[in-house]
Amino acid sequence: MGRERVAIPLENGTDDGATLDPNFEYVNAVDDHDSFQTHIDFSLACRCANDCQVDCPCLARCTYDADGHLTGRAVELADKAELGVLLECSSCCFCSNKCRSRVAQKGVHCGLEVYRTRKYGWAVRTCSLIMKGSFVCEYTGELISDADADKREDDTYLFEIVDETSAYCIDAKFKGNVSRFINHSCEANLVTLRVVWDANIRHLPHICFYAKRDIQQGEELTIDYGNQWWDVKLRNFPCQCGSKSCKYTSTVREELLRDGLITAEENRELEEPFGGKL
């Protein structure tokens, strides 16, 4: 499946006969078809030969260890949304592709599988052990403006990214990669980070997922879609992640209905509960 460094199999072990939308195109990078990022910025480029040297500013801000994993402290800060944007070396840097500060930009390197569940449709699981702090995948799709995103009827696969002046979205409805099929959990095993490595003046971040803890072979990969997503979607269906700390259960939804925060009309439109997508 797709064009990754490692093959990503697709399996439907259920009897529902479901297949992927034939209009869906697998892309392993964000599709900037409107050319939002065109001007090159050399200000952050280093001139290190081979790997970045000890006195290189790229290495000084690097949050990866020698094995290419986020440091334990970085994972903790990321889980609290306190880490900020990660900076990797760009194409303007003189260092080699083996530099310690080039991880997420290399793409998927661990074995992943998209599979069908009876409970909530497609999901993603790992085919091998993923160590804490490991990069797993990037969220890819069409890069569109926030204004264009508002015009699209289906917001299921929209992921908002924001720079200092404007808001943009990545829409994975028609174009995307394996990350498109990752479900929500209130006890997610992945953390979401913004990572910059493009040598352009705008420096829009890539949305990347890293292992929050050691993830065992065969375990489903999950992320936390966040309160803003559920503030909208809870009107249509409750979360069914099944975690002990689930914040968006059917009980919570019923309480919102009782308190008038969800209207009776919205309640009649209740869809089949599932984990959901971004």
> What pLDDT digit, counting tens, does each position of 157-212 carry?
999 887 556 688 999 999 999 999 999 999 999 999 999 888 765 668 899 999 99
CA dist 157 and 154 (Å) reads 8
pTM of this structure: 0.86
CATH 2.170.270.10 residue spans of the chain: 10-225
Q: What is the pLDDT of residue 269?
A: 43
Residue 53 CB neighbour total at 10 angstroms: 13
The residue whose two tokens read 């599979």 is 115
Q: What is the pLDDT of residue 62?
A: 86
- CATH numeric code, 10-225: 2.170.270.10
The answer to whether 201 and 41 have CB atoms below 8 angstroms apart is yes
Q: Calculate the average pLDDT of the chain.
A: 84
Greatest mean pLDDT range, 10-24, 170-184, 243-257: 170-184
The yes-or-no verdict on residue 278 having pLDDT over 50 is no
Q: What is the mean pLDDT of residues 115-130?
A: 95
- Report residue 239: phi and psi, to 5°: -75, 145
> What pLDDT digit, counting tens, does each position of 36-66 carry?
555 556 666 788 877 888 788 887 788 899 8
